[in-house]
Amino acid sequence: MRFVRWGEAGAENPGVLDASGTIRDLSGIVTDIDGAMLANIPAFDIDALPEVPHQTRLGPCIARPGKLVCVGLNYADHAAEGGWDVPTEPVLFMKATTAISGPTDPVILPPGSQRTDWEVELGIIIGRAAKHTSDGAAHIAGYCVVNDISERAYQQEMGGQWTKGKSCDTFAPIGPWMVTADEITDPTGRGIWLDVDGDRMQDGNTDTMIFKPAFLVEYISRFMTLEPGDLITTGTPPGVGMGKSPQVFLRDGQEMRLGIDGLGEQILPVRAS
C-alpha cells in the first residue's frame, strides 16, 4: 500500500492511494499515519473509501516521528566527493523532527545561508520497536523519499557538528507517500536522482549503498530503541553541490525535483527566508 497524508499544513488527514493513483480518505478508519497506526495497520477496502479531490496538497507521509536518525557517507562515491574516508561502520547523526515538511512545500533558506545543499535519500520507516535486533527487516514498515537538505557552512565551519547544518525548518521534506514493505521487499537496485532547475545533479542507484537497510536497523538498534514511526535516512549518492567543481548551492527561486523508482517524486521550490 501507499499511505499519504493530505490537507493543509498542520492539519493533514490520513489517506491511501488506490490502484489508479487516486487518494482515498482514511480518516474514518485511523486518526493519522503515525507510529500507533503503523504498529497495527488495520484491514480495509480501499475502493470503498471516499475519494479526495484532485490537486489536494500532500503533507509529510508520516506524522510526528519520535526520531529522525540519519546515516552519513553511505555511498562510497559520495564520501569521495566530499573528501571523507569511506566508513567502516555506519556514521550516525540526528536531524530535528521540526525540519520535516511535505513533498511540494517550499524549502526555506535560513538567514545568511550561502551554502545550502541537496541530498536525495531513501527513508526507512519503523513499524515495530527494535532493540538489539538481529532481524532488521522485520521491523521495517515501509520506505519513502527524503531530501536531507544541508547548510554546509553550519555543518562544517561551526564546530563540525552535522546536526546544526541539517535541522533548519523545511530541511527534511518527506514523501510523497510511504510504500509498505510488503510491496517493496528489497529497496535496493532502484534509481535515485535529483534535478535542480531541470539539470540532473544526482543520478545513482540504491544498490550502491555501503550498508543496506535491514543491517542499518540492526546496527542503530544497538545504540537506541527504534520505535514505530521513527524515520531513518540512509545516505545520498554523489552529485551534491558541495562536490561539484566549482561548488554550487541553492538560491532563491530555484526548484528541486527528486525521486526514487517506485517511491514517487518531490517538487520543491526554494525560497529565501
Predicted confidence (pLDDT) per residue in 65-123, tens digit: 999 999 999 998 887 887 878 889 999 999 999 999 999 999 999 998 999 999 999 99
What pLDDT was estimated at residue 102?
98
pLDDT tens-digit profile of 39-74?
999 999 999 999 999 899 999 999 999 999 999 999
**Within 10 A of 195 (CB to CB), how many other CB atoms are there?**
19
The pLDDT of residue 238 is above 80: yes
Whether the Cβ atoms of residue 217 and residue 136 lie closer than 8 Å to each other: yes
The pLDDT of residue 235 is above 90: yes
CATH 1.10.10.60 fits 63-272, yes or no: no
pLDDT tens-digit profile of 118-169?
999 999 999 999 999 999 999 999 999 999 999 999 887 877 678 899 999 9
* pLDDT-derived band at 21, boundaries 50, 70, 90: very high
Taking the C-alpha atoms of residue 1 and residue 178, their distance in angstroms, rounded to an integer, is 8
| Domain extent listing, the chain | 63-272
| Mean residue pLDDT across the chain | 95
* Helix and strand counts by DSSP (H, E) for the chain: 5, 18
H helices of the chain, where? 35-38, 76-82, 152-156, 162-166, 213-220
Whether the Cβ atoms of residue 50 and residue 38 lie closer than 8 Å to each other: no
pTM of the model: 0.96
What's the length of the chain?
273
Q: Residue 152's beta-bridge partner residues?
A: none
Residue 118 sits at φ, ψ, to 5 deg, of -115, 155
What pLDDT was estimated at residue 145?
98
Cα 147 to chain center, whole Å?
6
